[in-house]
Amino acid sequence: GAGVSQSPRYKVAKRGQDVALRCDPISGHVSLFWYQQALGQGPEFLTYFQNEAQLDKSGLPSDRFFAERPEGSVSTLKIQRTQQEDSAVYLCASSLVSLISSYNSPLHFGNGTRLTVT
Amino acid sequence: EDQVTQSPEALRLQEGESSSLNCSYTVSGLRGLFWYRQDPGKGPEFLFTLYSAGEEKEKERLKATLTKKESFLHITAPKPEDSATYLCAVRHDIYSGAGSYQLTFGKGTKLSVIP
């Protein structure tokens, strides 16, 4: 596809339920990020993949959050035992090159998944 | 603590009324400053990257400038379709001696252009 695709667009989960959010990055993009955006705030970094390797997960708020990118393309962000404070928009972004070695490349974002925990 | 602060939080302009948005940053080892536009229900859309003080970039009615402490996004003769939230983000050295890849975002400026 032409851009980063995320699904589902909206997810409503009952507190305690597990959810899985999917990201299809732009084909061939090496770097993939997950960001969390609360209402009225800027996006906040969660985790970074270079191909299939998760190089940084320092932004994941708790051990209930888990991300994977097993074949270096599609990525899934999983949240276990969801809590109300997990309600936010989860944004995926990709970049053509490895950002470890080249910081010039901008990130291309998907339209996000809006998660509401009731 | 490293910070990115955007002002104002919200701005209402009449169509054709030029203005500027501000992004100030207190990070060390700036590797790039990025401007994004975000429409409601959409992800951020890349506008500009600036790397060094004195640099300027233009796109249609938008011009971004960078100093050592802040960046400005100038909007000339805005139109209603320019209404959006404008986000500023910086990429900077986080670990000593290493490159950086994270973007640290400000909270954004919500721009409304009234016909």
Give the C-alpha separation, A109 to B45, whole Å.
7
- Calculate the CA B73 to chain-centre distance: 6
Where do the H-state alpha helices sit in B1-115?
Answer: none
Does residue B42 sit at the A interface (CB-CB below 8 Å)? yes
User: What single-letter DSSP state applies at residue A40?
Assistant: T
Confidence grade of residue B96 (pLDDT, cut at 50, 70, 90): very low
Q: How many CB atoms lie within 10 A of CB A21?
A: 20
Residue B98 has pLDDT above 90, yes or no: no
* Share above pLDDT 70 across residues of chain B, in percent, rounded to a whole number: 91
Residues A78/A81/A84/A86 CA torsion (nearest 10 deg): -20
Q: Check B101 against A110: CB less than 8 A apart.
A: no
Residue B99 has pLDDT above 50, yes or no: no
In chain B, residues with a C-beta closer than 8 Å to the C-beta of A30 are none
Closest CA to A34 of A23, A42, A19: A23
Q: What is the pLDDT along chain A (118 residues), one digit of tens a residue?
A: 579 999 999 999 999 999 999 999 999 999 999 999 999 999 999 999 999 999 889 899 999 999 999 999 999 999 999 999 999 999 999 998 776 666 677 889 999 999 999 9
CB-nearest to B106 from A42, A104, A112 is: A42
Give the C-alpha separation, A13 to A8, whole Å.
12
The confidence score (pLDDT) of residue A85 equals 96
User: Nearest 5°: phi and psi at A11?
Assistant: -145, 125
Does residue A101 sit at the B interface (CB-CB below 8 Å)? yes
User: For testing the chain A interface, which of B30, B101, B102 should be mutated: the one with the most A CBs within 10 Å?
Assistant: B101
- B72, B58 contact by CB (below 8 A): no
Closest CA to A3 of A72, A83, A76, A91: A91
Residue B15 has pLDDT above 50, yes or no: yes
Place of tokens 């032409």: A2
In chain A, residues with a C-beta closer than 8 Å to the C-beta of B105 are 42-44
